[in-house]
Structure 1
Amino acid sequence: MNRSALSNRSRLDRAGIALSGLCAIHCLASIVVVSALGLGGQWLLAPEIHRWGLALACVIAGVAIGWGALRHRRRTPFVVAMTGLTFMGGALAAPHGIEEAVLTIIGVALVSLGHILNLRHSH
């Protein structure tokens, strides 16, 4: 694989890690702000944010980790990330609150770990 393609995949993996972190912060901040202050529920808890976030995570993980799996022929990053995306999808079916946040945080942690493993295997 040429340097340019490896660099692009690395950027996608790093974007996936950043997106996972932002998602976790969003979940925790939403619970704290809405519960403690009663503010922002209509924006912070909007289902569209979660649907778009999951769609973006699926695209980034699918491209970066799928590309990496084809390159380094290791299934672990792919399996870990897809398990995380499954948790994130399950969170969409949960009612807003602690259950949804726990499922989402587990999911984004696994997706992030998949991206980290993918980066490690690419070197």
Structure 2
Amino acid sequence: MNRPNDISAVAAEPPVRGLDALAMLLSGLCLIHCLALPLLVAALPLAASSLVADERFHQWLLLGAVPTSVIALGWGWRRHRDGVVAWLGVIGLILMVFAAFGIQTGLIDADGERVLTVIGAVMLAVAHLRNYQLRHHGHDHSQPHAPH
């Protein structure tokens, strides 16, 4: 039987338990795409014309990665107020978005896109990992502290 405090704690938990994992997966796909694509294109010329070789592939991945990351990291921030998670997440997302759109606008070249995406994806993955650890190990700063 649950005590009232247990019920209120469960009710206060947002329904985003798997979002950190999903966001890490999407960031990982960006990372794999950047690192493996040159090898794939060299090995299989047909891959050069596929959707995966298209620069817009990152933009499509961002359609899932940005909202997922914002929701998961936002709920995490609400609970633990960890500045490292916030800054890593924000900077990682900015780098990934800039890389995805910067190449099409001519602000960066393919090498710049690859470097920025890798750095951004790693930063974002670290932010989600830390966010997950803090949310699931009792670092809840959203509740008032009981006097000692």
- The one-letter code of the counterpart of 1:106 is I
| CA shift for structure 1 position 38 | 2.5
Q: Distance in 1 between matches of 2:62 and 2:69?
A: 10
1:29 aligned onto 2:36: yes
Aligned to 2:25: 18
1:44 aligned onto 2:42: no
Q: What secondary structure, in the 3-state scheme, does the structure 2 residue paired with 1:22 have? A: helix
Q: Cα 1:14–1:98, aligned 2, differ >3 Å: closer, same or farther?
A: same
1:111 aligned onto 2:124: yes
Worse-superposed segment, 60-69 or 1-10: 1-10
Native 8 Å contact 2:91 2:120 kept in 1: yes
Q: Distance in 2 between matches of 1:4 and 1:111?
A: 28
Native 8 Å contact 1:33 1:39 kept in 2: no
| CA shift for structure 1 position 119 | 0.9
Native 8 Å contact 2:14 2:75 kept in 1: no
| CA shift for structure 1 position 96 | 5.9
Higher relative contact order (CA 8 A, sep 6+): 1
Aligned to 2:112: 99
Aligned to 2:87: 79
Native 8 Å contact 1:84 1:110 kept in 2: yes
Worse-superposed segment, 101-110 or 6-15: 6-15
Q: Runs of 5+ in structure 1 lacking a partner? A: none
Q: Runs in 1 of length 4+ with deviation above 2 angstroms?
A: 1-10, 35-39, 94-99
Aligned to 1:68: 76
Aligned to 2:144: none
- As a proportion of its length, which structure holds more helix? 1
Q: Distance in 2 between matches of 1:98 and 1:6?
A: 41
Worse-superposed segment, 61-70 or 13-22: 13-22
RMSD of aligned Cα (Å): 2.1
Partner deviation per Cα, 1:19-39 (whole Å, 9 max, x = no partner): 222221122221111134323
User: How much identity, in percent, do the aligned residues show?
Assistant: 33
Q: Distance in 1 between matches of 2:120 and 2:46?
A: 26
- TM-score, normalised on structure 2? 0.72
- The one-letter code of the counterpart of 1:120 is Q
Q: Distance in 1 between matches of 2:118 and 2:97?
A: 12
Larger Rg: 2
Q: Runs of 5+ in structure 2 lacking a partner? A: 1-7, 138-148
- TM-score, normalised on structure 1? 0.85
